Copies of this chain bind each other. A is one copy, B any other.
Amino acid sequence: MVNRQWLCASYVPPDEFPTQKHFELVEAPMPSPQEGEVLLRTLLLGTSPAQRMYVTKESEFHIKVAPGEVMSGRGVAEVIESCHPQYQVGDIMEGTLGWQEYVAMSPDPQVKDGSHVTPVKRVENPVRPLTTVLGLFGQRAFSAYVGMVEIGDTQPGDQVLVSSAAGGVGAIACQLARARGASRVVGIAGGEEKCRWLVDQGLCDAAIDYRQEKLEAQIGEALPDGLNVYLDNVGGDTLDAALQHLAVGARVAICGHISTEYLRPRPPGPTHYYNLLYRRSRMEGFFVFDYLSRWGEFEAQLRQWYADGLLKLTDHVLEGIERTPDALTSLFTGANVGNCVVRVAPDPESVPAL
C-alpha cells in the first residue's frame, strides 16, 4: 500500500493563485504509528483561502509550506490503527492532516510557537455526511457565526448584507442572519449563476452580481433603508460600496479582504470609512480561532437551528484526492459555490446519518 501525497512543487507568486502546477502528487510509503500515535485515513479535505498564504513566500502568515513539503490543510479522517490508549479504531478525527491519504500523528496537545496546539482532535457525535464537520458544524460555520452573531450582533428585523455570499462562510452566514431574525438578507457574488443559486436555494432575498456595473447603486436598490449588518470577506471596492449604505448603528464584521490581500503596494482603504462617524457605526475584524473555547456552544446552537429547519447543507464535493489543488483553485477563480471539500474516501457506514 502506498500513501498518495500532494507536495508543494513551487512557491506561488503573490500575483498568482495556486493551481495544479504548484503541487506534485507523489506516492510515499504508508506511515506506521509510533507509541502514542494513531494512524489516520483521510476521508475529506477542506479548503480555505488562507491556504494560498501557506505557499506564498512573501506572505506574513504564520503557517508556511516550502517546496518539497506535504501541503498543509485541514480535513476529516478515521482512526484505522491506534497506539494511543484514549483512541479507538473507527474514531472520527478532524484537524491538520495535510493533503495525503494517510498520516500517523499524536492527538495529544503539543507546544508549538509557545502555545498548546492539538493537530487533530476527535469529533464528538459525528454525523453523515461528514462534510458537516468542515461545513455546517465546522470552522467555516463558526466563522460565519462569529461574524453574524458575535461581531455583527444581528437582531430581529435587521437588514443584512453578505459578500462572497456563495462561498463557504458566506452561504452559512446568510442562513444565520435569517436564523437570528433578519428581515432581509442580500448576498453579493460573482456572476449570474451564483446569484441565481443564492436566491433559488433560499439563502438570500436578493443577490447582487459584483461583476455588473454600479455595485454601490445595486446595494442601494437592494437595501433602500441601509444595512444594519455587513459581513465583509472581500474588502476593496465592495467594502467601500457597503460603507455608503450603513444604517445608523450598523456593524461591519471583517472576516477577510481577499480582493486586496495580495496587492502590493497596498491599495488605499475605503474612502467612505467616515460613515462610521456619520452613521455611528462599528467595523471590527475577527479570527475564528480566538473563539476556540466557544466552538462547543456554537456547534450546539447550529445543530439546534438545523433541527429547527433553519439551516441547510451547501456542500460542493469534488471526488478524489487528485482534485485537491482544483478545489483550492476554485476559491480564487470564482468557480466555487458553498462548502467546497474533496472526498478522499467514503464516509464510514458506522457513522450515523444526520
Contacts and interface: CB of A to CB of B under 8 A. Distances in A.
A235 interface: yes
A256 interface: yes
A104 B29 CA distance: 94
Contacts of A278: 285
A294 to B, nearest CB: 14
A257 B274 CA distance: 7
A272 interface: yes
A59 to B, nearest CB: 12
Nearest to A279: B285
A70 to B, nearest CB: 27
Interface in A276-308: 276-287, 290
A272 B235 CA distance: 12
A175 to B, nearest CB: 23
28 contacts: A235-B274, A240-B269, A254-B276, A256-B277, A257-B274, A257-B277, A266-B271, A266-B272, A266-B274, A267-B271, A268-B269, A269-B271, A269-B274, A273-B283, A276-B283, A276-B284, A276-B285, A277-B285, A277-B286, A277-B287, A279-B285, A280-B284, A280-B285, A280-B286, A280-B287, A281-B284, A282-B282, A283-B283
